[in-house]
C-alpha cells in the first residue's frame, strides 16, 4: 500500500494512493456535498456539487472521481470561489425545478433542499423557460414526477445495477429527461417494482405511492375490523424515521404505536415467516425425495419473482410454490383468525407494513387470495407507517414497549432473520435438518450464508446427504445464478434469492438515508445485525418450535403441505413479456 503525504485546506494528511478526494476528505471529517454520487454504481461526476481546487490543476475538479496520485498534492474544499460555484449550481438546478416543497413527500428529507439551505441560495436567481411533465402514476408502487428530477441519474444507476434497466436519459439538451424507452409509462415496461430507485433519489422525483389515507379511512370505519401485521425487518429500520441510530430494534415501541393508531389487532409477520418455512421446507424435502425440479428457489421476494417472470420465465418451475410471509399471514387472518374470532372475513381489512414497495403489487396478483378476497387489502412501507405515526401525534421515541397480540403474534428467531439476506435459507435449514434427522439439533447458526456479500455458497451435511445451497441478493447477482442454471453449472439443491441488495433490510420501502450516509455507512450490515441479535434473544429460534405454528396445524391446516395448506398458502406464476409497448 503506497501512502502519499498531502494537504487539505492547509493541513497535513496521509492517504493511500489513488484514493479519491471525496473519500480522503471523509476519512478526516471533511464533508464535501454531492448529489449524483453513489459509491460503486454512479461515480460519474455529473452534478458538479463536489468541485474542489487542486493546486496546479487548470480548473476545479470533481472530488468524487478525482484520484490523489501525487505526493504533496494540495487540495482546497472550502474557498469563496468553491462555495460560490456550488451555490450557482444549486440556483441553476432550481431554475427548472418544481419548488412546491411544503407539499412534497421528501420535504425535510431532500438532499437538494438541505444543500440549498446550507448554501443560502436564491431560488429565483435564474428565471426563464421551464419544462413540465405529467406525473407517471401508472404503477401500483410509485409516483414518478420528473418536475422534481435533477438528472443526477442515481435512479438509472440503481435500475441498471438491478439488471432491469428500464429507465434512462431520453431526449437531448434542455429537453433531457429520465424516462422509459419510447417515453412509455412504467406500467408498460418490465419494471419489477423493487423501488430501489426511490431510496436513492435525492429529491421527490420518485416516491412510493402513498396508501396511508386508505388505512386511516379503514380505521375510522366502525363496520371494519382492521388488522395490521409488520414484516421482520421493520423492527430494525423504523427507528431511523424518528432520528434513532441505524440498526436500533424498536419492536416494542412499534407494537405500542400500532395499538395507539387504533388497529383492532396487531400481529407479527414473523409468524407468517415461520409458516413459510413449514411449507417451503416440506416442499423442498418432497422435491428431493420425489425427484421434483431442483434447485428449488425461494419465492418470498415479489420483486425477484416478477424479475424471473419477465426475464427468466423458463425457470419458473424452479420457484417454490409457497406464498410470501405477507400473503400467508393475510390468508390466515382472513380464514383461521376470522373463524376463531367469529368475524366475517369480508369485514376484516388486513394492512401489511412491509420494507418493500413491490408488496403493493404482490397483494393484487392473481392466485394470491381466496373466496374472492385479497389476502391483504393494503400494503404500506416503513416510511408510510412512520408518516402515520407522526400524523397521529404519537411521540415514538418516548413510547413504552408493547407486545403483539396472540394467535399470530409469536415469531421465532428464524422468522426474524428473514429480513436479512441468507436469513430465509438459514431458517429453512434449521427446520429441514431437524425434520430429516429426527433430532432437536443444537447447532443452528449457519454462518456461511450470513453477511452482505452478493453471492454466498455453502454445502451442509444433513442426515447423511450433502445439501449444496446458494444465497444471493440484488438482481444482478440473481442473474449470475440463473445463468449458471441455464448453463447446467448450478449443482445446488436450494437457492435463496432476494430482490434488494442485502435483503429486506435494504428494501425499496425502507427509510431513506442521504448520499453521504449511503456512501460511507453499511446500512445493510447495521440493520441486519439488529435482526441477528433479536434472533439470539428470542425464546424460540426454529419455526417448527413456534407454539402458535403448532396450533394452527393441529387446529386448522392439518399438516405442512396438506390440501388445505395448498389452497390457502401456495400460488402460481406467469410468464411475462419484457418491455411491452402497447
271-314 pLDDT, tens digit each: 999 999 999 999 999 999 999 999 999 999 999 999 999 999 99
The length of the chain, given as a count of residues: 582
- Grid coordinates representing 291 are 425427484
Q: Give yes or no for residue 478 having a pLDDT over 50.
A: yes
221-239 pLDDT, tens digit each: 999 999 999 999 999 999 9
Average pLDDT rounded to a whole number, residues 126-141:
95
383-403 pLDDT, tens digit each: 999 999 999 999 999 999 999
What is the distance between the alpha carbons of residues 249 and 251, in angstroms, rounded to a whole number?
6
Same domain, 231 and 180: no
Residue pair 423/445 in contact (Cβ under 8 Å)? The answer is no
Same domain, 235 and 365: yes
How high is the pLDDT of residue 580?
41
Same domain, 314 and 203: no
CA 133 to the chain's CA centroid:
28
Average pLDDT rounded to a whole number, residues 202-206:
98
Mean pLDDT of the chain: 96
Same domain, 203 and 98: yes
**Cβ-based neighbours of 413, under 8 Å, separated by 6 or more:** 534, 535, 536, 537, 538, 540, 541, 542
In sequence order, the β-bridge partners of residue 278 are none
Could you tell me if residue 74 is inside a domain?
yes
Q: Give yes or no for residue 582 having a pLDDT over 90.
A: no
511-552 pLDDT, tens digit each: 999 999 999 999 999 999 999 999 999 999 999 999 999 999
CA 69 to the chain's CA centroid:
37
Strands 74-76, 3-8: pairing kind = parallel
Could you tell me if residue 283 is inside a domain?
yes
CA nearest to 409, candidates 496, 284, 538, 294: 538
Environment class of residue 480 by beta-carbon count within 10 Å: exposed (0-12), middle (13-18) or buried (19+)?
Answer: middle
Helix (H/G/I), strand (E/B), else coil: 102: helix
How high is the pLDDT of residue 579?
57
Q: Which residue, chain included where needed, has cell 408498460? A: 188
Same domain, 383 and 449: yes
513-522 pLDDT, tens digit each: 999 999 999 9
Could you tell me if residue 340 is inside a domain?
yes
What is the distance between the alpha carbons of residues 440 and 100, in angstroms, rounded to a whole number?
60
Same domain, 127 and 197: yes
Domain boundary among 21, 45, 78: 78
Same domain, 109 and 139: yes
* CATH number, domain with residue 428: 3.40.50.1780
What does R_g of the chain's alpha carbons equal in angstroms? Answer: 25
**What is the number of other CB atoms lying within 10 angstroms of the CB of residue 73?**
21
pLDDT band at 191 (very low <50, low <70, confident <90, very high): very high
Could you tell me if residue 86 is inside a domain?
no
Number of domains in the chain: 3
How high is the pLDDT of residue 266?
98
Same domain, 358 and 270: yes
User: Which residues form the domain of 119?
Assistant: 92-208
Could you tell me if residue 282 is inside a domain?
yes
Same domain, 194 and 219: no
Buried b (16+ CB within 10 A) or exposed e, 365-374: beebbbeebb
Same domain, 144 and 27: no
Q: Give yes or no for residue 556 having a pLDDT over 50.
A: yes
Q: Measured at the alpha carbon of residue 243, what is the angle toward residues 240 and 245, in degrees to the nearest 5?
A: 65
How high is the pLDDT of residue 173?
94
Q: What sign for the dihedral angle of Cα 55, 58, 64, 70? A: negative
Q: Give yes or no for residue 581 having a pLDDT over 60.
A: no
What is the distance between the alpha carbons of residues 115 and 495, in angstroms, rounded to a whole number?
44
Same domain, 45 and 187: no
Q: Give yes or no for residue 578 having a pLDDT over 80.
A: no
pLDDT band at 463 (very low <50, low <70, confident <90, very high): confident
Could you tell me if residue 576 is inside a domain?
no
- Grid coordinates representing 422 are 441468507
Domain boundary among 148, 182, 208: 208
**Cβ-based neighbours of 562, under 8 Å, separated by 6 or more:** none
Average pLDDT rounded to a whole number, residues 242-259:
98
What is the distance between the alpha carbons of residues 257 and 255, in angstroms, rounded to a whole number?
6
Q: pTM of the predicted model, to two decimals?
A: 0.96
179-189 pLDDT, tens digit each: 999 999 999 99
* CATH number, domain with residue 187: 3.30.70.20
What is the distance between the alpha carbons of residues 310 and 546, in angstroms, rounded to a whole number?
36
60-95 pLDDT, tens digit each: 999 999 999 999 999 999 999 999 999 999 999 999
**Cβ-based neighbours of 341, under 8 Å, separated by 6 or more:** 225
Same domain, 241 and 193: no
Residue pair 169/178 in contact (Cβ under 8 Å)? The answer is yes
CA nearest to 21, candidates 86, 38, 30: 30
What is the distance between the alpha carbons of residues 309 and 17, in angstroms, rounded to a whole number?
45
Strand order in the sheet with 494-498: 296-297, 494-498, 465-473, 455-462
How many angstroms separate the Cα of 580 from the Cα of each of 206, 353, 420?
Answer: 22, 31, 33
* CATH number, domain with residue 48: 3.10.20.740
Q: What percent of the chain has pLDDT over 90?
A: 97
Q: Give yes or no for residue 355 having a pLDDT over 60.
A: yes
391-447 pLDDT, tens digit each: 999 999 999 999 999 999 999 999 999 999 999 999 999 999 999 999 999 999 999
Domain boundary among 208, 241, 266: 208
Q: Which residue, chain included where needed, has cell 401456495? A: 570
Amino acid at each position: 500500500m503506497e501512502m502519499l503525504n498531502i494537504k487539505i485546506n492547509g493541513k497535513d494528511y496521509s492517504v493511500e494512493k489513488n484514493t479519491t478526494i471525496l473519500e480522503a476528505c471523509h476519512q478526516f471529517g471533511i464533508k464535501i456535498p454531492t448529489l449524483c454520487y453513489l459509491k460503486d454504481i454512479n461515480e460519474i461526476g455529473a452534478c458538479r456539487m463536489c468541485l474542489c481546487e487542486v493546486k496546479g490543476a487548470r480548473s476545479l475538479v470533481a472530488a468524487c472521481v478525482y484520484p490523489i496520485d501525487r505526493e504533496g498534492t494540495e487540495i482546497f474544499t472550502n474557498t469563496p470561489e468553491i462555495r460560490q460555484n456550488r451555490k450557482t449550481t444549486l440556483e441553476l438546478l432550481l431554475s427548472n425545478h418544481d419548488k412546491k416543497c411544503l407539499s412534497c413527500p421528501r420535504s425535510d428529507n431532500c438532499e437538494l433542499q438541505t444543500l440549498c439551505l446550507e448554501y443560502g441560495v436564491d431560488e429565483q436567481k435564474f428565471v426563464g423557460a421551464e419544462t413540465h411533465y405529467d406525473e407517471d402514476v401508472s404503477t401500483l408502487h410509485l409516483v414518478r414526477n420528473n418536475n422534481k428530477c435533477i438528472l443526477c441519474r442515481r435512479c438509472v444507476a440503481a435500475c441498471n445495477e438491478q439488471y432491469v434497466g428500464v429507465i434512462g436519459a431520453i431526449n437531448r439538451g434542455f429537453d433531457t429527461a429520465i424516462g422509459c424507452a419510447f417515453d412509455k409509462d412504467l406500467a408498460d415496461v418490465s419494471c419489477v417494482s423493487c423501488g430501489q430507485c426511490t431510496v436513492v433519489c435525492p429529491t421527490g422525483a420518485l416516491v412510493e405511492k402513498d396508501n396511508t389515507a386508505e388505512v386511516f379511512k379503514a380505521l375510522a370505519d366502525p363496520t371494519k375490523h382492521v388488522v395490521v401485521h409488520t414484516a421482520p425487518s421493520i423492527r430494525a429500520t423504523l427507528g431511523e424515521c424518528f432520528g434513532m441510530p441505524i440498526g436500533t430494534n424498536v419492536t416494542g415501541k412499534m407494537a405500542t404505536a400500532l395499538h395507539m393508531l387504533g388497529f383492532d389487532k396487531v400481529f407479527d409477520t414473523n409468524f407468517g415467516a415461520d409458516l413459510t418455512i413449514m411449507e417451503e421446507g416440506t416442499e423442498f424435502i418432497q422435491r428431493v425425495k420425489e425427484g421434483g425440479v431442483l434447485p428449488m428457489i425461494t419465492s418470498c421476494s415479489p420483486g425477484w419473482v416478477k424479475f424471473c417472470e419477465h426475464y427468466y420465465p423458463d425457470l419458473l418451475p424452479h420457484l417454490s410454490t409457497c406464498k410470501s410471509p405477507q400473503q400467508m399471514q393475510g390468508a390466515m387472518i382472513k380464514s383461521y383468525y376470522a373463524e376463531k374470532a367469529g368475524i366475517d372475513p369480508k369485514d376484516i381489512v388486513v394492512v401489511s407494513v412491509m420494507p418493500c414497495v413491490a408488496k403493493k403489487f404482490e397483494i393484487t396478483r392473481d392466485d394470491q387470495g381466496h373466496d374472492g378476497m385479497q389476502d391483504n387489502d393494503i400494503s404500506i412501507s416503513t416510511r408510510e407507517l412512520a408518516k402515520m405515526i407522526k400524523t397521529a401525534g404519537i411521540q415514538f421515541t418516548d413510547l413504552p414497549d408493547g407486545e403483539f397480540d396472540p394467535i399470530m403474534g409469536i415469531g421465532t428467531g428464524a422468522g426474524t432473520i428473514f429480513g436479512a439476506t441468507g436469513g430465509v435459507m438459514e431458517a429453512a435449514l434449521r427446520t429441514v435438518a431437524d425434520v430429516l434427522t429426527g433430532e432437536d439439533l443444537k447447532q443452528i447458526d449457519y454462518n456461511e450464508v450470513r453477511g452482505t456479500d452478493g453471492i454466498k455458497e455453502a454445502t451442509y451435511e444433513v442426515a447423511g446427504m450433502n445439501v449444496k445451497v446458494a444465497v444471493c441478493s440484488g438482481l444482478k447477482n440473481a442473474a449470475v445464478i440463473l445463468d449458471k442454471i441455464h448453463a447446467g453449472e448450478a449443482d445446488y439443491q436450494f437457492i435463496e434469492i432476494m430482490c434488494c441488495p442485502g435483503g429486506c433490510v435494504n428494501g425499496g420501502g425502507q427509510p431513506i438515508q442521504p448520499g453521504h450516509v449511503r456512501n460511507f455507512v453499511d446500512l445493510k450490515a447495521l440493520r441486519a445485525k439488529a435482526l441477528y441479535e433479536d434472533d439470539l434473544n428470542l425464546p424460540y429460534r426454529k419455526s417448527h418450535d413456534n407454539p402458535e405454528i403448532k396450533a394452527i396445524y393441529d387446529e386448522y391446516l392439518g399438516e405442512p403441505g396438506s390440501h388445505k395448506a395448498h389452497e390457502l398458502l401456495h400460488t402460481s406464476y406467469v410468464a411475462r413479456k419484457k418491455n411491452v409497448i402497447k
